[in-house]
């Protein structure tokens, strides 16, 4: 996580995000939101220069991002329409350390949680979290049916999922708005760039078994590495094409 020098959220250009969020709320209802402190929601709306709003769902409709409010390191309000394999309402009232409890190999993150809570209440911070999924949907709700990874799964069946997580202090030194923008794209688009492809494979290959399991990447790791494995038949065909182009007989393999 680093200091954020830019805007905390993406300006809304149309209302399409509301339609998208309403669709998720219709499917998963109160799984996606809860609020113990509507006064903090109203305070956040005023700091942002908006009309006073105390309803967390109405507040979330003002942004493309998912929204939560932390106070003294405790989650007091949340409306996450695009969660990543967890149920937002179950985290209400939890500390940052408790929220991070399921994170694999996250001991250092949990140890630093109180300090992180103090920092985000005083300055805007940002970090990026990514994974690879079998669906291009913005939501990865745990009740959502997603395609399984099989022996026939290829790069073209997978999607790159990026969360841009940004915090914004409310001004009292104790409260922060937490915004998460989710973007997805076909992994095949990224695979066309060898540098980005190799960076992803290197990152996945160095993840521990616990992290791979937590991120549901165990089988996906195999697909990624299989995509760059040398195919003898394909390499031989390429070799013959090359020598045909230079008008010479190919040397023995």
Of 166, 164, 176, 165, the C-alpha closest to 47 is 176
Would you tell me how many other CB atoms lie within 10 Å of the CB of residue 213? 12
Name the pLDDT band for 49 (thresholds 50, 70, 90). Answer: confident
Of 104, 31, 28, 32, the C-alpha closest to 61 is 32
Say if CB 61 and CB 16 are below 8 A apart: no
Burial of 184 (0-12, 13-18, 19+ CB in 10 A): middle
SS3 label, residue 157: helix
Mean pLDDT, rounded, of the chain: 90
pLDDT in tens, 56-84: 999 999 999 999 999 999 999 999 999 99
Of 232, 125, 139, the C-alpha closest to 179 is 125
pLDDT of residue 249: 61
Is residue 91 scored above 80 in pLDDT?
Answer: yes
Is residue 207 scored above 70 in pLDDT?
Answer: yes
Output the pTM of the full model: 0.87
Is residue 54 scored above 60 in pLDDT?
Answer: yes
Sign of CA dihedral 81, 86, 87, 89: negative
Is residue 234 scored above 80 in pLDDT?
Answer: no
pLDDT in tens, 162-202: 999 999 999 999 999 999 999 999 999 999 998 999 999 99
pLDDT in tens, 19-34: 999 999 999 999 999 9
């Amino acid at each position: 996580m680093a200091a954020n020098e830019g805007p905390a959220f993406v300006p809304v250009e149309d209302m399409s995000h509301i339609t998208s969020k309403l669709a998720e709320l219709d499917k998963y209802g109160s799984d996606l939101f809860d609020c113990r402190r509507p006064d903090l929601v109203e305070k956040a709306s005023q700091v942002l220069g908006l009309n006073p709003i105390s309803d967390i769902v109405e507040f979330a409709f003002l942004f493309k991002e998912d929204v939560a409010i932390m106070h003294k390191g405790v989650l007091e309000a949340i409306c996450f329409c695009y969660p990543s394999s967890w149920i937002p309402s179950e985290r209400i009232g939890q500390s940052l350390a408790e929220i991070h409890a399921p994170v694999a190999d996250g001991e250092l993150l949990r140890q630093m949680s109180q300090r992180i809570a103090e920092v985000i209440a005083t300055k805007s911070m940002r970090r990026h979290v990514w994974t690879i999924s079998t669906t291009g949907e913005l939501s990865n709700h745990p009740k959502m049916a997603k395609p399984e990874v099989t022996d026939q799964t290829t790069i073209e069946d997978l999607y790159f999922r990026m969360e841009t997580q940004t915090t914004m202090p409310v001004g009292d030194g104790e409260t922060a708005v937490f915004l998460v923008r989710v973007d997805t794209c076909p992994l095949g688009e990224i695979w066309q760039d060898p540098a980005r492809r190799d960076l992803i494979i290197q990152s996945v290959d160095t993840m521990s078994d616990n992290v791979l399991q937590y991120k549901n990447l165990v089988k996906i790791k195999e697909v990624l590495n299989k995509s760059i494995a040398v195919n003898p038949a394909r390499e031989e065909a390429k070799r013959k094409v090359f020598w045909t182009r230079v008008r010479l007989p190919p040397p023995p393999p």
